[in-house]
Structure 1
Amino acid sequence: MSEAVTLTPEGRLPLESAFNLRDFGGYATADGRCVKRGMLYRSGTMALLTDADAAHLRSLGIKAICDFRRGNERSAEPTRWHGAEVDYFCRDYAESSGLLGEMLKRDGATADDMRQTMIALYRIIPVDHAESYQAMFARIVEGRLPLLINCSAGKDRTGVGAALILAALGVPRSTIVEDYLATNAHADWDWLLGQRNTLMARARLSRAEALEPVLRAEGVYLDTLFATLDEQHGGVDGYLNDVLGVDAAARDAMRGMLLS
């Protein structure tokens, strides 16, 4: 990793054409320690990065990327900035949870319909994407850091992944929600959709109000995730241990590497 990582206080990197790409370290844990900066990054699509952006990301010494997108998403907007030395994880799957585009296929859906659909999605993301989160934690425990996790928007699949990491490190739930909601300040949808002629971009022009709950991070979404884990697994630790294989020893190892 480079000796100095340039960041704003909010974790924003000095990049020209990134989308929702930020460092999600810097948070205090319940035991008074702090998640190190320059070790954990989260992002949306990275297909529009400039050459200078790509060079800056390479300078960070990122050792692993976990790309939570489906194959068609990766083909449409490939991630190309990294070299062969970076451990790049991805997988092909059929589930549509977390895919913003899937929401747009609902003709006549209102904003409340969209919000209820998003709430339902956060109940199934930890099921549909457990394999990806297993791979993510395996790389952390193996010390393949710094790590970057991403999906198309950097909000839902990535948001859950980041929340799970921060929870495993002992960051309080209120702080985890704060990091999740930071997407609303970092994700410039006007800029991103202005680069595209996609279903999403066209929907933003024709039914922006109905689309808003899909594009925004809302606290109720992450609250639904945590409530689901509480109900089905006795809490985040139960899900980490029983579903993802991240036991107490693994969490201790993570904390040793990522907390100061």
Structure 2
Amino acid sequence: MIRPYILEETNWKHLKDAEVDLVILPWGATEAHNYHLPYGTDNFEGKAIAEESARIAWEAGAKVMVLPGIPFGVNTGQADIFLDINLNPSTQAAILKDILQVLHRQGVKKFMILNSHGGNNWKSIMRELGLQYPELFLCVTHWFKAMDKTEYFENKGDHADEMETSLVMHLRPELVLPKEEWGVGTEKRNKIKAFTEDWAWTERPWSKISEDTGVGNPKASSSEKGERFFKAVCEKMAKLMVELAKADVNELYE
């Protein structure tokens, strides 16, 4: 069945007279995820969350449209990890500018990046492009920050951890290696305390901070946990999509 809110599935017959209130662009990455998860983990997660959230929003009356996702992200800290594909932030900005130029020319007023990779940092890019396209409302969402993960998972982490492993076990179980192949995701911490206190920053060189490229122990993962988390994230994201689609962006503050 054609889903009219998914651009790569829909058609000109539907779109020639259509109105779209919110355009959503999933943006992921292609990178190693511990030993056991696929390189496309961020893309599978972002695509599934974007599409399911849009379905819920569409059925609630929101005129949303999900664009085909961008499968490459910023992986500058993983240059020595085989086939981790990097897009520099300047490249991301150029791609995004071209997309926004099309949307602006065609009268779209609201745009969301559904970010699916922690290495993608959008604030500076969106600030600059916002000046160039002041008629476009721009925003970024990070689905992996939407929920309190301690309510769903036992172990902390931020890469191929219990949360991501559970999600992929739910979404694409055929791509997850058997549990005996999983690394433990131990992270080596910076010796300089300031960089672990979240007020000073330096990029993590991935091959130095993790032997298996994971950060967070995935051993307690399950598809059931992944399904529960997926549903909660999509419901919350869909609510935002509905609110944005219906909102008067000139009257957002009180």
TM class, shorter-chain normalised? 0.3 to 0.5
For the pair shown, which has the larger CA radius of gyration, 1 or 2? 2
Instruction: Judging by fraction of residues, say which structure has more helix.
Output: 1
TM-score of the superposed pair, with normalisation by structure 2: 0.34
